[in-house]
Amino acid sequence: MAIPSLSLLFLFTSLPLVSSSPVKDPELVVQDLHRAINVSRRNLKYLSCATGNPIDDCWRCDPNWEKNRRRLADCAIGFGKNAIGGRDGKLYVVTDSNDDDPVNPKPGTLRHAVIQDEPLWIFVTNIIIHGLHIHDCKQGGNAMVRDSPWHYGWRTTSDGDGVSIFGGSHIWVDHNSLSNCKDGLIDAIYGSTAITISNNHMTHHDKVMLLGHSDSYMKDKNMQVTIAFNHFGKGLIQRMPRCRRGYFHVVNNDYTHWEMYAIGGSANPTINSQGNRFTAPNDIFSKEVTKHEDAPESEWKNWNWRSEGDLMVNGAFFTRSGAGASSSYAKASSLGARPSSHVASITTNAGALNCKKGSRC
């Protein structure tokens, strides 16, 4: 993970593992989310920047944003809305980019921050990953790695993901710039759920996003992920995302490049695509947005995949499937989609932000 600038406070926070709460029934989650979003919009109207992006309108237009950085934790949307991160803990200022000692990390490094037990940033549940440039990640491991102030142990080789969510819940990945990693840019596997991936800018990568471990791993059937307000940009090939078994809401994203496909999946996932803009690339690249992987048409034609209000540009097309059961799509709905004509303005500031004190972020 590269950290090119230390001028920002990287508030990478989480609650202690012992505070983990069970994931609610999907139907109740959807109802709670819609109620909370409506309340939040009414309460935060005085801050509205009128960008159409409810996350950014919640906090970025406050000129005193740096004096209340914890406010960000109350601005999540989608299935990861309840990820409060380290909102109630201390701020940790990253002052040292030298993270090369996995057993005895120095205070001031990001590696030292993430092994602490108090509410700071990154453990397994209630996680917010915000404001980072993540690129050129390599495989690592087969080494001793510290995971708390009192324990370190042997870790086998990693895949080389930019962000790897392994059995985690209540996760929010927002306003990061990701590119050129060994495996995935963002992967969520082994029963991870209640996740929102929003406002990120992704470029120059092959297998962008994997959601679900394998076709045979049944615990991923309850996975719920919101993918909203992201810009899938230059040099991307496939998996934006690639889904397995669970419920996936792909809403108000801007797709400006793919070489194989944009949205794909296997093992009967429910995919609810709403209000996105799909601009098919020129030349020999595929115009089809979707790919029903690893199954004959006789099987995938029953998977519930819908496109509602999406804008198809330059010959792009979405292959729908399934009978469209309302109960299935209810579990794959996490927020109201804006019209696809608003996508350009909603995603204008996708990626890591260049925030400066004394002015709107």
Task: Annotate 163-192 with DSSP letters as a single string.
Answer: EEEES-EEEEEES-EEE--SS-SEEEETT-
Residue 359 lies in a domain: no
Residue 354 lies in a domain: no
Domain count, the chain: 1
Distance CA 224, CA 153 (A): 31
Contact yes or no for 126/19 (Cβ under 8 A): yes
Which positions are catalytic? 239
Residue 358 lies in a domain: no
Contacts of 180 (CB under 8 A, 6+ apart): 135, 136, 203, 204, 205
CATH for 51: 2.160.20.10
Residue 3 lies in a domain: no
Per-residue pLDDT 10s for the chain (361 aa) are 333 322 223 333 332 222 333 455 544 544 554 454 344 333 433 455 777 899 999 888 888 888 888 888 999 999 999 998 878 877 777 888 887 788 898 988 888 887 877 755 447 678 899 999 999 888 777 777 777 787 777 777 778 889 999 889 999 999 999 999 999 999 999 999 999 999 999 999 999 999 999 999 999 999 999 999 999 999 999 999 999 999 999 999 999 999 999 999 999 999 999 999 999 998 777 899 999 988 899 999 999 999 999 999 999 999 999 987 778 999 999 999 999 999 999 999 999 999 888 888 8
Strand order in the sheet with 177-179: 133-135, 177-179, 201-203, 231-232, 254-255, 277-279, 311-313
Residue 4 lies in a domain: no
pLDDT at 21: 39
Residue 1 lies in a domain: no
DSSP alpha helix (H) spans, the chain: 26-43, 54-59, 110-114, 297-300, 326-330, 343-346
pLDDT at 48: 57
Task: Find the farthest-apart pair of alpha carbons in the chain and give their distance in angstroms, rounded.
Answer: 59
Residue 68 lies in a domain: yes
pLDDT at 25: 53
- Cα three-residue angle 290-186-162, rounded to 5 degrees: 140
Q: Which domain covers residue 342, as residue numbers?
A: 13-346
Contacts of 218 (CB under 8 A, 6+ apart): 245
What is the residue whose two structure tokens read 């590119």?
A: 179
- Cα three-residue angle 11-13-16, rounded to 5 degrees: 160
User: Radius of gyration over alpha carbons of the chain, in Å?
Assistant: 20
Residue 357 lies in a domain: no
